[in-house]
């Protein structure tokens, strides 16, 4: 697995680039006529490198939790009787979150926390649930959360 770069191995700039790619904004497979690039582009252009609270032109005076129905709900179905709602974060909220966690000091604190947790975990257990970039294919891949037990 030497051909991958985990998100925790990236600096704050590379991590921000990673998160702001459309395929990482919403990873569920959508039909080709759903193009999320525009939504994400508007969020990026509106906020730039600022957080929502710093953007005076948006006049946001409430917390996210006070704004009901701000996200997009997509309904999927596996059968005629079974529908499942999928939530697509509002692009402003997504970009705001990315801007916040990829500020250099916040990103470094997050990475330090991951390292401390990894040091505390039993070395026989390895978590494989972090997003990564495949260097050979130059593509982003997200894996399902899997916990593997190494042999004793």
Query: What is the mean pLDDT of the segment spanning 125-135?
Result: 75
Count other C-beta atoms under 10 Å from residue 96's C-beta.
Answer: 24
Spatial distance between the Cα atoms of 16 and 96, rounded to a whole number of angstroms: 11
Q: How many domains does the chain have?
A: 1
Query: What is the mean pLDDT of the segment spanning 89-117?
Result: 90
Spatial distance between the Cα atoms of 75 and 93, rounded to a whole number of angstroms: 21
pLDDT tens-place string over residues 51-68: 776 665 555 555 666 667
Beta-ladder partners of 140: 133
The pLDDT score that the predictor gives to residue 46 is: 84
Spatial distance between the Cα atoms of 118 and 72, rounded to a whole number of angstroms: 35
Spatial distance between the Cα atoms of 127 and 63, rounded to a whole number of angstroms: 33
The parent domain of residue 49 ranges over 4-149
Q: What percentage of the chain exceeds 90 in pLDDT? A: 18
Long-range CB contacts for residues 55-59, cutoff 8 Å, separation at least 24: 58/92
Which residues touch 102 (CB under 8 Å, ≥6 apart)? 12, 13, 15, 16, 19
Choose from 110-114, 120-124, 127-131 the range with maximum mean pLDDT: 110-114
Which has more confidence, 108 or 119? 108
pLDDT tens-place string over residues 4-55: 888 889 999 999 999 999 888 887 777 777 788 888 898 888 888 777 766 6
Which has more confidence, 124 or 14? 14
The pLDDT score that the predictor gives to residue 147 is: 39
């Amino acid at each position: 697995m030497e051909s991958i770069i985990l998100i925790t191995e990236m600096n704050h700039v590379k991590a921000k680039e990673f998160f702001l790619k459309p395929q990482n904004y919403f990873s569920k497979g959508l039909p080709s006529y759903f193009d999320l690039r525009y939504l994400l582009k508007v969020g990026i252009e509106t906020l730039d490198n600022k957080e929502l609270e710093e953007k005076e032109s948006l006049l946001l005076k409430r917390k996210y939790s006070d704004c009901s129905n701000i996200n997009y709900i997509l309904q999927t179905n596996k059968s005629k009787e079974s529908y499942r709602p999928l939530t697509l974060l509002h692009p402003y909220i997504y970009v705001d979150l990315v801007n916040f966690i990829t500020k250099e000091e916040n990103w470094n604190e997050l990475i330090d926390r991951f390292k401390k947790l990894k040091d505390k975990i039993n070395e026989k257990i390895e978590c494989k649930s972090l997003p990564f970039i495949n260097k050979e294919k130059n593509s982003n891949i997200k894996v399902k959360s899997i916990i593997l037990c190494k042999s004793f």
